[in-house]
Amino acid sequence: MTDQSRAELPLRAKVASSLSKTAAALSRAAGRGDGSVIGGWLGMKIDPDLLRHLAAGRRVALVSGTNGKTTTTRLTTAAMGVLGDVATNSLGANMPTGHASALARAGHTPYAVLEVDEHYLRQVIEATSPGVIALLNLSRDQLDRAKEVAMMAGLWREAVRDHDAHIVANADDPMVVWAARAAAHVVWVASGQRWHEDSWVCPECGSHIERPPGTGDWYCTGCDLRRPTPQWSVDGDAVVDPSGVRHPVALQLPGRINRANAATALAVAAEFGADPAQAAPRLAQVASVAGRYATVHKDGRTIRLLLAKNPAGWLEAFDMAEAAPTLLSINARDPDGLDTSWLYDVDFSPLHGRRVLITGDRAMDLAVRLEVNEIEFEHVTSFAKALAAVPPGRLEVIANYTAFQDIRAELNRVN
Ligand SMILES: [Zn+2]
């Protein structure tokens, strides 16, 4: 594709782009969110190729997966900053309308890093011709079952096979490996995978996937699908690059999973020619992401908010939470999924030995689940009561989607 500066956008794309920005500004002024979705939607009504037109001339990275894509997009944007200005959909509007709006708003930039909803990956690849695609993980979200996970992996596989983008992929997720290895050029990152429940069956041949305990290795017992040797990995607080050089990363974000996300970010930036030694210090700029991981001080308590949207996310959150009183909050409204049976797919035993409080619309479902794991808990009817029940010091909060939003709103009110 020829380099096309913003000034050379086709007339229809120019009108659509400026309308998209105006609509977004109007929506913000009316207090209806950041407006990126409505703005992009309007723009794409006028120019269905708007995303393609706005992406042309930029070197684009896409980031997709069930969990961690917002955070990894932020980290990748920070890392790529060493190369030049980067457009990004940092507010998590991760479908094509959100991408169009983000690019329109950013104006001309040499680079773009876009978080992509996993269902839209193919469409966004076709529209943006990315240079690099990061594939993080695939697991069930809400009511999706393992079968849908394998189906999604199949769609990814076709999408990356038909394009020449460089792939940066998680070597520890068999579904991701199977999808990514269809591509011509793949860089593997040892990102880890705590959640195994959606990848016991090989997507290639249907045989059992074996995971020798304590090795981190995995392989299919029926075909040649196995864990590739990763070029990038995490060692303590450092990311190790393909030549074996350690790059210390001082992240503000908690947990092993975010150090793995940092490794992915550096790997993506390196594919565009960034020097990881220069890019690594920039990762420390990323603090909370849309309120996730935010630390709030209130009444002598230091409260940290962790969002967990699905079973794999709960396991990662247990890993991130420090050994301190922990409040779990669960709702089952539309955005969360109405069924809470997934609670039985998650091992709550990492919470043994700490003080656990529970709240939310579906606290009773959580209570039954914790009883099964023989974990003691206290039920509180509101976040304010949880705050009053714990001594000054740290309080970890792990909540699913709408419960998380409720607590954020409550914190804003009390602040
Ligand atoms: Zn197999």
The full DSSP string for 133-193 is EEE------TT--HHHHHHHHHHHHHHHHTS--EEEEETT-HHHHHHHTTSSSEEEE----
The dihedral formed by the CA atoms of 19, 25, 31 and 37, expressed in degrees to the nearest 10: 50
Ligand 1 centroid distance, CA of 194 (Å)? 21
Structure tokens at 100: 């169009």
Q: The sheet that has 238-240: what strands, in order across it?
A: 233-235, 238-240, 246-248
Helix then strand count (H, E) for the chain reads 14, 17
Ligand 1 centroid distance, CA of 177 (Å)? 12
Q: Which one is predicted more confidently, 21 or 335?
A: 335
Ligand 1 centroid distance, CA of 344 (Å)? 28
Ligand 1 centroid distance, CA of 199 (Å)? 11
What residues have a C-beta under 5 A from ligand 1, the ion? 202, 204-205, 207, 220, 222-223, 225
pLDDT of residue 5 exceeding 70:
no
CA 83 vs. chain centroid, Å, equals 23
Q: Which one is predicted more confidently, 341 or 387?
A: 387
Q: Which one is predicted more confidently, 106 or 2?
A: 106
Q: Which one is predicted more confidently, 40 or 367?
A: 367
For residue 295, the model assigns a pLDDT of 86
Q: Which one is predicted more confidently, 415 or 58?
A: 58
pLDDT of residue 399 exceeding 70:
yes
For residue 193, the model assigns a pLDDT of 85
Ligand 1 centroid distance, CA of 211 (Å)? 13
pLDDT of residue 309 exceeding 70:
yes
Q: How far apart are CA 54 and CA 109, in angstroms?
A: 10
Ligand 1 centroid distance, CA of 190 (Å)? 20
For residue 133, the model assigns a pLDDT of 98
Ligand 1 centroid distance, CA of 195 (Å)? 19
Q: How far apart are CA 177 and CA 189, in angstroms?
A: 10
Ligand 1 centroid distance, CA of 309 (Å)? 29
pLDDT of residue 7 exceeding 60:
no
Ligand 1 centroid distance, CA of 206 (Å)? 6
Ligand 1 centroid distance, CA of 323 (Å)? 39
> What is the amino acid identity at position 283?
L
Ligand 1 centroid distance, CA of 133 (Å)? 24
For residue 212, the model assigns a pLDDT of 94
Ligand 1 centroid distance, CA of 234 (Å)? 27
For residue 31, the model assigns a pLDDT of 58
Ligand 1 centroid distance, CA of 14 (Å)? 49
pLDDT of residue 263 exceeding 90:
yes
Ligand 1 centroid distance, CA of 186 (Å)? 20
What's the chain's Rg over C-alpha atoms?
A: 22
pLDDT of residue 298 exceeding 70:
yes
Task: Tell me how crowded residue 126 is: count the other CB atoms within 10 A of its CB.
Answer: 13
pLDDT tens readout for residues 55-86: 999 999 999 999 999 999 999 999 999 999 99
Q: Any idea which of 1-10, 57-66, 395-404 has the lowest mean pLDDT?
A: 1-10
Please give the mean pLDDT across all residues of the chain.
89
Ligand 1 centroid distance, CA of 219 (Å)? 8
For residue 203, the model assigns a pLDDT of 94
Q: Which one is predicted more confidently, 409 or 274?
A: 274
